[in-house]
Amino acid sequence: MKFAITSKGDTESNIWMHKMRSYLQDFGLVYDEAQPDIVISVGGDGTLLYAFHRYSSRLDRTAFVGVHTGHLGFYADWVPDEIEELVDAIAHKTYTTVDYPLLEVMIAYEHGGHETRYLALNESTVKCVDGTFVIDVEINGRHFERFRGDGLCLATPSGSTAYNKALGGAIVHPSLQSIQLTEMASINNKVFRTIGSPLILPGHHTCVLRPVRQKDFLVTVDHLTLLHKEVRSIQYRVAKEKIRFARFRPFPFWKRVHDSFISD
């Protein structure tokens, strides 16, 4: 089996990365950064987001596992004290995988040409560069509302505990093939109206944002922020790709939520 390790880059994460790499090579596994079967992320959720984007072109051939070194580590099942157990499991056990849904982002431009496609593990947000953000929200081809406010967030179920949660969104179990739309500070009065509640869309539904006045937007995809100019539309839906996590022991989603937000 071929493996790769991504580290947050701090001293502690790098030490554990080097230890794991040497243990796994001692067990006969091959270190291959280009085409790994399994990617071990050492650090926090940010490190796992980075690893996901680095290997997003080979998701069907790569499983991910996270080790957290002093961070929240919502996506990470293991702590450094358990590294020998994890290495032994990777080298000797057949692991099961769980698939989590991803968000597909398609950005089309006024001048036509190629659309830009992204996959998000957590979420994508849209804000404008200056002034109040105004955008038409379309669901399954029908106009739903004209949103005015700070921005909008579209999250995956596993990203529902991240930015989405801070925006008052629901926590959604990742077995539900869905995406969630939440508002950022909508303007709501007798003149302007938005739904005001988070919306959860199933896998076969599509949400399209269509600019009204402004055409330039700051679009985030997980930890990445990109300025897109002359935007005609931004389409969101559940992606056909999924992320696969390698599971060497059970770690139910609701226990993960409890341990991250209530107490561990």
Residue 14 gets the label, from left (phi > 0), alpha (psi -120 to 50) or beta, of alpha
Ranges within 84-123 binding ligand NAP (CB under 6 A): 122-123
CB of 233 to ligand NAP, least distance (A): 23
Q: Are 91 and 25 in contact (CB under 8 A)?
A: no
The one among 53, 54, 71, 215 contacting ligand NAP by CB under 6 A = 71
Q: Does 182 bind ligand NAP (CB under 6 A)?
A: no
Residue 68's Cβ-side half-sphere holds a number of Cα atoms within 13 Å equal to 14
Q: Residue 83's CB: how many other CB atoms inside 10 A?
A: 17
CB of 256 to ligand NAP, least distance (A): 9
Question: Was 46 annotated as part of a binding site?
Answer: yes
Q: Does 146 bind ligand NAP (CB under 6 A)?
A: no
Q: Segment contacting ligand NAP (CB under 6 A): 56-64, 161-169, 190-198, 211-219?
A: 161-169
The one among 2, 146, 205, 223 contacting ligand NAP by CB under 6 A = 223
CB of 232 to ligand NAP, least distance (A): 25
224 DSSP β-pair partners: 221
Query: To 5 degrees, how large is the angle CA 47–CA 203–CA 46?
Result: 10
Residue 29 or 105: which CB sits closer to ligand NAP?
105
Q: Give CA–CA dist 159/185, Å, rounded.
A: 20
Residue 79's Cβ-side half-sphere holds a number of Cα atoms within 13 Å equal to 5
Reply yes or no on whether 45 is catalytic: yes
Q: Give CA–CA dist 57/117, Å, rounded.
A: 12
Per the residue annotation, which of 45, 130, 259, 264 is the catalytic one? 45
Q: Residue 91's CB: how many other CB atoms inside 10 A?
A: 15
Question: Was 99 annotated as part of a binding site?
Answer: no
Q: Segment contacting ligand NAP (CB under 6 A): 127-135, 162-170, 173-181, 188-196?
A: 162-170
Active site residues: 45
List residues near ligand NAP by CB under 6 A: 44-46, 49, 71-74, 122-123, 158-159, 161-163, 166, 222-223
